[in-house]
Amino acid sequence: MNGFSFRRFLAVLRKEWIQVRRDPFTLRMIIALPVMQLFLFGYAINADPKHLPTGLLAVDHSKYERTVIAALKNTGYYDIRPLDSEAEAERGLADGELLFVVNIPPNFDRSVDRGEQPAILMDADATDPSAIGNAAAALAALTSALDRDLPPAARSAPARAPFQFEVHARYNPEQLTVLNIVPGLICIVLTISTLFVTTLSITRETERGTMENLLAMPVRPIEVMLAKVVPYIVIGYAQVILIVAIAVAVFGLPVRGSVALLTLALGLFIASNLALGITFSTVARNQMQAIQMAQFTLLPSFLLSGFMFPFKGMPAWAQWAGELFPVTHALRIVRGILLKGNGFAEIAPDLWPIAVFTLAVTLVATWSYRVTLD
Amino acid sequence: MTADLVIDVRDLHKSYGTRKVVDGLTLAVKAGEICGFLGANGSGKTTTIRMLCGLVRPNGGGGTCLGLDIIRDAPRIRLQVGYMTQRFSFYEDLTVTENLDFVAAVYELDNRREAVKAIIDRMGLADRAGQLAGELSGGWKQRLALAACVLHKPKLLLLDEPTAGVDAKARREFWDLIHDMAADGLTVLVSTHYMDEAARCGRIVYLSDGKLVVQGTPDEVAKGSGLITFEATGPNLDVAARTLRKMPGVESAAVFGSALHIAGMDRAALERAIQSLDGGLAWHEVPPQLEDVFIHLLSQPDRPHA
């Protein structure tokens, strides 16, 4: 009676598998969710936004002015339309119609010719700093825009720098956001589907009244929990294959590392999520509580893991908190294997925290699984 | 002497917070007996049954079930007990066969398929074998639950209000099955609210507020109650019943078909009540029915019985 019985485990597994198959809605969600997220994130989210609406306030419509405006347009960041008044500019910035307003001072051409170094004022809506950051940074290179129109003496003398920096954008030379997003997306989608589904699994037995029966039968907690988890490992892998296949075919995601290693590492990550889900499921008294617990962990998974924002940009305490979540480590592993071609030695420092997390959480689940109805 | 006692528990206590659900219950059930468990809602029947199969730990007291300690050996008791819960607790998204197959596999039965097929045939479930349990009517659900409880050939069946909400024919058939299995040596403890079912038990135990109030064969319980009952036939029984119910000493007055039953503990008061009526009814004394006894017990829960 005591100890693990493979036959009992298989019995519960068979039951779970039938139940998963008979729930077409959940199955459809499991397929639709990652596909939808992949296309949303792949096409809709852009960390380097271009064609930002820009208003122009100018009185002269002079030659230099036209050159400067052409240079602004050529950066790709600015879509420029002329404005009639300062009031219109203020209104545009206030209601979000405009992100930038370019103010070219009167007599701009003459001031330039006299060497007065006039300033062009750029009003920017900085409520979302990341939206305007790259566009503002591109301005620095534009001060030489007038060089062709000016006599050699008046040109912006290119400072002969004693040395220079050369940026070599490795792993993602075109700096495509989607290549950063897809590996993260694999981890996030796995978190959502595996964590939520298993979170509900044991509370569902309690709420439908089948738990009393299950407890009255000779199954051990560990057999029930394992059997509830295994179908979702299969489903989790199906999702990974789907996401990676679409990402490779549609978004040109490179697969530089070992697929076998990726499969292994993701297996561990899936296990950690399932263990957490089962733990929530045993601790929670009903499905509502279980869902709230899952949502509570989902937010830091998004925000602190490095999925949405750069991990190294967070303060130290937030990084410490982020390190606790398996998704943080999984994200590094998946990015490392897919984009950098990392091997086992490089990902090992991120593997063991997931393993420790899984083990600790499983212990809590086994300990809190109620074998009586008290 | 205790060897043939399948259930032998003494002084069981269970309380949730300050509420005592089971309060010093002592119960002995002999092998092969069908023991009816009666009492008002909330009298502790379900909790007692759960304590017997180890689903709830008693706060005090103890004893044995099938010769095994109900606290220490709960997992081993479960292997030999079939427990049918009050609420249907099999999987509604599995078919009848799949549910039974699951149970058989969890009990690690050899020849699983044969065992499942045999129980389906015995319970007359063959026509519904491929149907989802959630689509079955109440009577068939309860039959499936019984089939699942006896699949592993338990020595003791614990049935918690197995026939609640089931039609009369299905109830009759269900009880025929229980008697059939008791004939094979199975011990049954069954809780119920139906008097016709109580009458089919070899022995009945009546609980009130977690205490055992009265026990014995249905006849013994009826006779031992000290209740006096009169029956009348004649016209306008409903009007007479309404009048009698308000009279002192009349604990119950109810019409059964063409007869009016009144019951009470005080013979003189009952006779006075009868005489005060206008007449036209033919009265005679009858032995108390189980139903009369239980309504009598239900209406005075605090009064302990010898």
pLDDT in tens, A245-270: 988 998 888 899 999 999 999 999 99
Helical pair A316-324 and A326-335, crossing angle rounded to 10 deg? 90
Asked if B106 lies within 8 A of A213 by C-beta distance, the reply is no
Longest dimension (CA), chain A: 97
pLDDT band at A356, cuts 50/70/90?
very high
Instruction: Report all structural domains of chain A as residue ranges with CATH numbers, in order of start.
Output: 6-45+175-368 (no CATH), 52-154 (3.40.1710.10)
User: What single string gives the DSSP state of each residue in A271-313?
Assistant: HHHHHHHHHHHHH-SSHHHHHHHHHHHHHHHHHTSSSSS-GGG
Rounded Cα–Cα distance for residues A211 and A217 (Å): 10
Contact B106 A217 (CB under 8 A): yes
Q: Do B56 and A218 touch (CB under 8 A)?
A: no
Is B91 close to A19, i.e. CB distance below 8 A?
yes
Residues of A in contact with B90 (CB under 8 A): 210, 213
Q: What is the predicted pLDDT for the residue at A79?
A: 92
Structure tokens at A20: 């998963």
- Domains in chain B, ordered, with CATH? 2-221 (3.40.50.300), 228-287 (3.30.70.100)
User: In the prediction, which pLDDT does A179 show?
Assistant: 82
Give me A52's structure tokens.
């930002």
Confidence at residue A159, expressed as pLDDT on a 0 to 100 scale: 66
Task: Please give the Cα distance from B99 to B170 (Å, whole number).
Answer: 21
The whole-chain average pLDDT of chain A stands at 86
- Counting other chains too, the contacts that A320-327 makes at CB distance below 8 Å and 24 or more residues apart are A323/A353, A324/A357, A325/A297, A325/A300, A325/A301, A326/A269, A326/A272, A326/A273, A326/A276, A326/A353, A326/A354, A326/A357, A326/A358, A327/A187, A327/A188, A327/A191, A327/A269, A327/A301
pLDDT in the model for residue A29: 79
| Residue B300 confidence (pLDDT) | 66
Q: How far is B42 from chain A (nearest CA, A)?
A: 16
Distance from C-alpha of A18 to C-alpha of B97, rounded to nearest angstrom:
12
Interface test mutation site (partner B, options A10, A15, A205, max chain B beta carbons within 10 A): A15
Comparing C-alpha atoms, which of B264, B272, B267 is closest to residue B295? B264
Work out the average pLDDT over A15-24.
88
Least confident of A204-208, A339-343, B229-233: A204-208
* Calpha distance A19→B47 (Å, rounded): 30
pLDDT of residue A158: 64
DSSP strand pairing (A121-124 vs A100-103): antiparallel
Contact A58, A65 (CB under 8 A): yes
C-beta neighbour count of B134 within 10 angstroms: 13
Cβ separation B105–A14 shorter than 8 A: yes
Cβ of A19 within 8 Å of Cβ of B57? The answer is no
**What is the spatial distance between Cα B81 and Cα A22, in angstroms, rounded to a whole number?**
31
The backbone torsions φ and ψ at residue A84, rounded to the nearest 5 degrees and listed phi first, read -90, -30
Q: What element of type H or E holds B137? A: none
Measure CB to CB from residue B94 to each of A18, A212, A373 and give the nearest one.
A18
What would the two tokens of residue A42 be? 């792949």
Express each pLDDT in B278-296 by its tens digit. Answer: 777 888 898 888 888 888 8
Return d(Cα A78, Cα A81) in angstroms, integer. 10
> Can you tell me the mean pLDDT for A178-188?
84
Q: What is the mean pLDDT of residues A278-283?
A: 86
Which chain A residues touch B88 with a CB distance below 8 Å?
A: 209
Rg (CA), chain B: 22
What is the separation of C-alpha A168 from the centre of its chain, rounded to a whole number of angstroms?
Answer: 24
Q: Which of A1, A10, A23 sits opposite B105 (nearest CB)?
A: A10
Closest CA to A93 of A137, A131, A141: A131
Q: Of residues A31 and A7, which shows the higher confidence score?
A: A7
Question: For residue B260, what are its two tokens?
Answer: 């009016």
- Chain B residue nearest residue A3, CA to CA: B75
What is the tens place of the pLDDT at every residue in A40-56? 877 777 777 888 999 99
Residues 32-71 of B with CB under 8 A from A: 50, 53-57
Q: Which residues of A touch B78 (CB under 8 A)?
A: 216-218
pLDDT given at position A1: 46
**Mean pLDDT (whole number) for A297-306:** 86
Q: From chain B, pick out residues whose CB is under 8 angstroms from the CB of A222.
A: none
Q: How far is A131 from chain B (nearest CA, A)?
A: 50
For residue A79, give every residue at least 6 positions away whose Cβ sits within 8 Å of its Cβ, in sequence order, or none.
A51, A52, A53, A54, A73
Chosen from A201, A213, A214 to mutate, greatest number of chain B CBs within 10 A: A213
Q: Are strands B19-30 and B5-16 parallel, antiparallel or unpaired?
A: antiparallel
Q: Mean pLDDT, to the nearest integer, of A280-296?
A: 86
pLDDT reported for residue B306: 37
CB B165 within 8 A of CB B138: yes
Residue of A nearest to B107 (CA): A218
Residue B69's beta-bridge partner residues? B64
CB B62 within 8 A of CB B12: yes
DSSP letter for A40, please.
Answer: I
Judged by CB atoms closer than 8 Å, whether chains meet at A373 and B53 is answered as no
Per-residue tens of pLDDT for chain B, all 306 residues = 455 889 999 999 999 888 889 999 999 999 989 999 998 888 899 999 999 988 889 999 989 999 999 888 888 888 899 999 988 999 999 999 999 999 999 999 999 999 999 999 998 899 999 999 999 998 899 999 999 999 999 999 999 999 888 888 888 989 999 999 899 889 999 999 888 888 899 999 998 888 888 889 988 888 888 889 999 888 888 888 888 888 888 888 888 888 888 888 888 888 888 888 877 788 889 888 888 888 888 776 554 443
Q: Is B155 on the interface with A (CB under 8 A)?
A: no
Interface probe with B: pick from A217, A222, A224, most Cβ of B within 10 Å:
A217
Chain position carrying tokens 């989210």: A45
Q: What is the largest CA-CA distance in chain B?
A: 72
Distance from CA of B58 to the nearest CA of A (A): 10
What is the per-residue pLDDT for B105? 94
Residues 6+ apart with CB under 8 A from A114: none
Residues A316-328, mean pLDDT to the nearest whole number: 92
Task: Name the interface residues of A facing B (CB cutoff 8 Å).
Answer: 1-2, 5, 7-8, 10-12, 14-15, 18-19, 22-23, 208-213, 215-219, 372-374
pLDDT for res A185: 83
Cβ-Cβ contacts under 8 Å, B53 against chain A? 216
CA angle B155, B62, B297 (to 5 degrees): 85
- pTM over the 0.80 mark: no
For chain B, positions 85-124, list CB contacts with chain A under 8 A.
85, 87-94, 98, 101-103, 105-108
